[in-house]
Amino acid sequence: MIKIETRDFGEIEVDENDIYDFPNGLYAFEDNKRFALLSPLGSDIYPMWLQSLDDPGLCFIVFNPVLIDGGFTIMLEDNERKVLGLGKDDPATALVIAKVPADYKHTTVNMKSPIVINKAERKAIQVILPLDYPFRMPVYASREVS
């Protein structure tokens, strides 16, 4: 366990296995190379917090895109697999960054540019998918029942 400073929770202890190396950083935050994935609501319960270790004030709320769109698919280029240390058939996990307004019911996620994680190697990158996913997909969209 190591102690880190967070934006939303102050100083906390995190398991080193929950820290990921982002060799390319994130879009617009390229200087931030290490992030901790925090699960304050419980193990594998979303939303989660992606907290920068390089800048305690930088933190993103993230969701599992499959929980929002069951047909969500990750398509990676060979060079992206190489950066992640993924073989052709190795599993990867995706996360999408949320924009959470004052009224959380209007939260949206960026499905076009997910974060892809190789949990075994603890490496992650952000990619832009070639598929027609929206940059702002509602998380809590009202669903009509027939």
Domain membership of residue 104 as a residue range? 2-133
CB 122 within 8 A of CB 37: no
Assigned domain for 104 exists: yes
Residue 85 lies in a domain: yes
Q: Could you tell me if residue 140 is inside a domain?
A: no
* Alpha helices (runs of H) in the chain, residue ranges in sequence order: 65-68, 78-84
Q: Determine, yes or no, domain membership for 142.
A: no
Structure token digits, residue 57: 């004030």
Residue at 53: amino acid letter: L
Would 86 be classed as within a structural domain? yes
In the structure, what pLDDT confidence band is assigned to residue 142 with cuts at 50, 70 and 90?
low
Mean pLDDT confidence for 27-51? 93
Model pLDDT for residues 41-65, shown as the tens digit of each residue? 888 889 999 999 999 999 999 999 9
pLDDT at 134: 87
Residue 146 counted as domain residue: no
Q: Shortest CA distance to 63 belongs to which of 142, 137, 9, 146?
A: 137
Q: In total, how many domains does the chain have?
A: 1
Q: Is residue 126 a contact partner of residue 79, using CB atoms and an 8 Å limit?
A: no
Q: Which residues of 75-113 are buried (b: 16+ CB within 10 A; e: fewer)?
A: ebeeebbebbebeeeeebbbbbbbeeeeeeeebbbbbbe
145 domain residue, yes or no: no
In this structure, the number of other CB atoms found within 10 A of the CB of residue 118 comes to: 21
CATH of residue 101's domain is 2.30.290.10
Model pLDDT for residues 70-119, shown as the tens digit of each residue: 889 888 989 999 999 998 888 899 999 999 999 988 999 999 999 999 99
Q: In this structure, are residues 91 and 50 in contact, taking their beta carbons and an 8 Å threshold? A: no
> How many other β-carbons are positioned within 10 Å of the β-carbon of residue 137?
20
In a domain, 138, yes or no: no
